[in-house]
Structures are given as structure tokens and as C-alpha cells.
Amino acid sequence: MAEYSPYPQVEINGTVYTGDVVNSVAIFNGRTNVDEQPRASYSTITLVTYDDVYPAVTANDRVAISILKSDGTTPHPIFAGYVTDVSASMRAHGSTGYATNTTITVMGALARLANKPTASTYPKQFDGDRIAAILLDVYGDTWAQTAPGITWATTDPTVTWLNYETEIGVIDQPGDFEVTAFNQGVVAAQSLANLTANSALGVLWEDGEGRINYTSSSERVANATNNGFETISADYIAAGNTSSIININDIANDITVSYKNNQEVTGEDSASITTYGRIARQWSTILENGASAQQLRDLYLETRTLPRRNLNAVSIPLHNPGLGSTLRDALVEVYNGKPVSIPDLPLPIYRIPFTGFVEGYVWELAKMTATLTLTLSDYGLTALEQTWSQVSASETWNTISPILIWSDAKVVA
């Protein structure tokens, strides 16, 4: 296989830094717990300059980061955001001059959403429509607010009014669950958006171009069904950074899901209570219908009543020359919710072939190296009950444990 070097490129307000100037880049994106929404992404960048040359960067400057794909020429965006902190320190000095480290902290779009106000009211609507309305209220321009020099001839023909603003990505509409009307006045946009997403098992996340996206519960499953899973062999995973964990705090066996006007649906698992004691948990939602609340209750009873093994970290060095170009480029394009399978993890790490979704990831970049660390969740933790026809058509029996039966197909390892 050919050697690979990522050559990270950092663009700050239109000025591009690359090569030896970019000493290191770290990027953190997503979440570690499927019961919470992703936090704002952030990046720490260190640039090295010499003598009186230094990067022109200040708070609130826009930053975009990209790395090369396997062909060595195609840059792919992996992060964008706004500068929050800039610090400088002496790296080295001598008779011929000195070198300076400039360390830049950059926050993603979700951090800015936390400081934006919503509208005061929203009608009863589906979750994706609610998220779209919130984001348009926060970021959406009117036609009169657009730059006067913009013409249709210079505008991407695929752009819609919803995604015209750089902060708004793809919003899955209408969504899966109806949420109640909101009339509690102006609140923080991120708070209401997170409550909506949590209520509907959706995910609010940032992509590599710094845009906020929303994926509904069923869209994740549809993506896996239509496009299959990205298969990663354990041969390409760094052993020292790969781990799993079982935590009793994940167990819930006395479950309450609240919905409109503080109504509740409840359920419990007697076998789990006998074994682990009663562990009560309440999910507060703004769902409109009791039937929807029952769907969530049933999912939690199916997947939260036993200890589950979580993949804590899976690290993949993309500069490994044995890694194929197709897989490397697919990982360069990683995103929250990407379907992933790892069929050959050691049994102490995961007892069945892993199938699930990317929940979060960390990039560690230098000129010649790129390591991607994934946080993953089991498919069953966010997928409502499915039928045989909903299983990905690309799934084959030789990728599935020969002892697996249909009644166990959603059991979390």
C-alpha cells in the first residue's frame, strides 16, 4: 500500500497554514453517551512560526480544518468553528533567532447556539420541523438581509433557503415524533433544540464544515439499511487505545417516560430488579402522544435493564500503510451516526461482532500522521424495533455470529 500523509490545512479568515507551520491539531466532536446530545465540538491548534512572523488571528475569527484524502491531492473538511482563545509561547531561541508556538482554541457551531434566543412560541409539530424552525429563527436570514451582490447565477443550484446559511446543514424533516406546542417565551436555542432531539431519539450534531445537522431516529436506521455498514477490521485498530467498559450506572429497570402535560407511562423488568435491585430512571420528554412515549419506554426496557458493554474507544492510525485507500477515505469522511461494523474484536472487548453507530470522534493530527479515535454505540440502543425487511440488504451471514438468533438480534452486548 502507498504511504499516506494527511498534511492538515488550517484556514483562518482566508489565510491558509500548512506544512511545517502546522505543528499539531486535535479535534473533539460528538458525544460519549447515547442518552445525551453531543456537546459543542472544539479544536486545539498549534502553529509554529519564526522570528517576527506570526499568524494574524484573534477571537471570533472563523477557522476551517481539512486533511488530504488518500490520493494526496484532495482536501476534505473535518472541522470548522470560531476562535475563542489565542495564546503564544516561546518554543526555542538562539543566536540565529527564535521560534514561537501559537495555540488556538476553536469552538464549533453548537457553542454559539447556546447563546442564541428562540422564538417565544412554536406550534405542535414533528421533531425535525421543530429543529428546523429553531435554527431558522436563530440563523436564518430574510431576503433583505442577504448580501446585495448575490445573484442566482453565482449561487449553488442545490442550495435551499434552509441551508443557505453556513451554520445550518441537513435537517431531517418532518421527523418521527410529534412534540407539543411551545409557549413558554424566549429560551436558549440549544436548550430547546436538545430537549426536542432527546424526546424523539434524534441527534443534533456538527459536520466537518461546521454546520449543525439533525438526524431523526429512523433516518439513522434508514441510512444503515440503504448504505450498509463501514466494516473496519480489528487488524487496523491500535491495540493500546482500544477498550470497552461495563457500568452499572447504565442499568434502568423501573422506567418512567413523561410526555404532554406531565402525563406518564411506566414499566419495569422484574428479572432485572431481582438481580440488580430496583434502579429507577425517568425520561422527561415533550412528546405529544402517549403511544410515542410507550415506544420509548419499550426501547429502554429492551436495552437498559441489563449491564451493557460499551466500546470506550477505538483508535485507527490512518497513516498505517496497510490501510486500504477506500477505507481510509471513508474514515476521513466520518460523521455522527455513521454505521460501522467491527466483526473481529477479541471476545474480552466485545462478545459478538459489533454493529452500531459513530457517536463521537477525536482527531489527532500532525504533518505525517493522523489518528482517528471513535466512540461507538450498539445499534440496538437507538433503533426502535425493526422487522426482517429493515435489515440492510448488504448484510451477509458470514459477518454474523453463527449462534445469533432473531430474538437476540437487538440484544446489546
CA distance 266 to 263: 10
**Residue 137 located in a structural domain:** yes
Residue after which a domain boundary falls, among 259, 287, 303: 303
Tell me, yes or no, whether 206 and 261 share the same domain. Answer: no
Residue after which a domain boundary falls, among 225, 256, 283: 225
Handedness of CA 141, 142, 145, 151 (dihedral sign): positive
Average pLDDT over residues 171-182: 95
Tell me, yes or no, whether 186 and 252 share the same domain. Answer: no
Closest C-alpha to 203, from 77, 74, 52, 382: 382
Amino acid (one-letter) located at 82: Y
Say what percent of the chain tops pLDDT 90.
60
**Residue 100 located in a structural domain:** no
Tell me, yes or no, whether 121 and 217 share the same domain. Answer: yes
pLDDT computed for residue 348 by the predictor: 85
**Residue 55 located in a structural domain:** no
Average pLDDT over residues 404-408: 52
Tell me, yes or no, whether 124 and 208 share the same domain. Answer: yes
CA distance 81 to 403: 47
Q: Per residue in 14-49, pLDDT tens?
A: 899 998 899 999 999 999 888 899 999 999 999 998
Tell me, yes or no, whether 119 and 192 share the same domain. Answer: yes
Task: Give the CA diameter of the chain.
Answer: 76
Q: Which residues of 224-257 are buried (b: 16+ CB within 10 A; e: fewer)?
A: bbeeebbbbebebbeeeebebeeeeebbbbbbbb
How far, in Å, are 71, 76, 234 from residue 324 at the CA level? 12, 17, 14
Closest C-alpha to 41, from 211, 241, 192, 219: 211
Tell me, yes or no, whether 158 and 258 share the same domain. Answer: no
For residues 76 and 308, the model is more confident at 76
**Residue 314 located in a structural domain:** no
**Residue 155 located in a structural domain:** yes
Half-sphere exposure of 83 (CA within 13 A, CB side): 21
For residues 69 and 50, the model is more confident at 69
Residue 172 has pLDDT above 70, yes or no: yes
Average pLDDT over residues 194-222: 94
Q: Which residue is listed with cell 451477509?
A: 396
H-only helix segments in 188-289: 189-199, 217-227, 270-276
Which H, E and C letters describe 290-333, residue by residue? HHHHHHHHHHHHHHCCCCCEEEEEEEEECCCCCCCHHHHHHHHC
pLDDT computed for residue 99 by the predictor: 84
Residue after which a domain boundary falls, among 272, 303, 334: 303
**Residue 410 located in a structural domain:** no
Structure-block grid coordinates of residue 263: 402525563
Tell me, yes or no, whether 190 and 266 share the same domain. Answer: no
**Residue 392 located in a structural domain:** no
3-state helix, strand, coil in the chain (%, to 5): 25, 35, 40
pLDDT computed for residue 387 by the predictor: 45
Residue 129, H or E segment: helix 127-139
- Reduce the DSSP state of residue 248 to 3 states and report it: helix
How many other CB atoms sit within 10 Å of the CB of residue 87? 10
Residue 230 has pLDDT above 80, yes or no: yes
Total structural domains in the chain? 2
Q: Per residue in 269-326, pLDDT tens?
A: 999 999 999 999 999 999 999 999 999 999 999 889 988 888 878 999 999 999 999 9
Residue 204 has pLDDT above 80, yes or no: yes
Q: Per residue in 88-119, pLDDT tens?
A: 887 776 666 778 888 999 999 999 898 899 99
Tell me, yes or no, whether 145 and 200 share the same domain. Answer: yes
Tell me, yes or no, whether 266 and 299 share the same domain. Answer: yes
Tell me, yes or no, whether 219 and 151 share the same domain. Answer: yes
Q: What is the average pLDDT value for the chain, to the nearest integer?
A: 86
Q: Is the peptide bond before 117 cis (omega within 30 degrees of 0)?
A: no
pLDDT computed for residue 262 by the predictor: 94
Lowest mean pLDDT, pick from 11-15, 77-81, 282-286: 11-15
pLDDT computed for residue 311 by the predictor: 81
pLDDT computed for residue 114 by the predictor: 87
Tell me, yes or no, whether 215 and 253 share the same domain. Answer: no
How many other CB atoms sit within 10 Å of the CB of residue 108? 27
Q: Per residue in 122-165, pLDDT tens?
A: 999 999 999 999 999 888 655 554 555 566 666 666 655 554 55
Q: How far is CA 276 from the centre of its chain?
A: 32
Which H, E and C letters describe 351-370, residue by residue? CCCEEEEEEEEEEEECCCCE
Residues 189, 134: contact at Cβ < 8 Å?
yes
**Residue 120 located in a structural domain:** yes
Closest C-alpha to 331, from 310, 368, 362: 362
Range(s) of the domain holding residue 295: 248-303
Tell me, yes or no, whether 269 and 183 share the same domain. Answer: no
382 pLDDT band, cuts 50/70/90, is confident
Q: What totals of helices (H) and strands (E) does the chain contain, helices first? A: 7, 21
Residue 68, H or E segment: strand 62-68
Exposed, middle or buried: residue 389 (CB in 10 Å: 0-12, 13-18, 19+)?
exposed
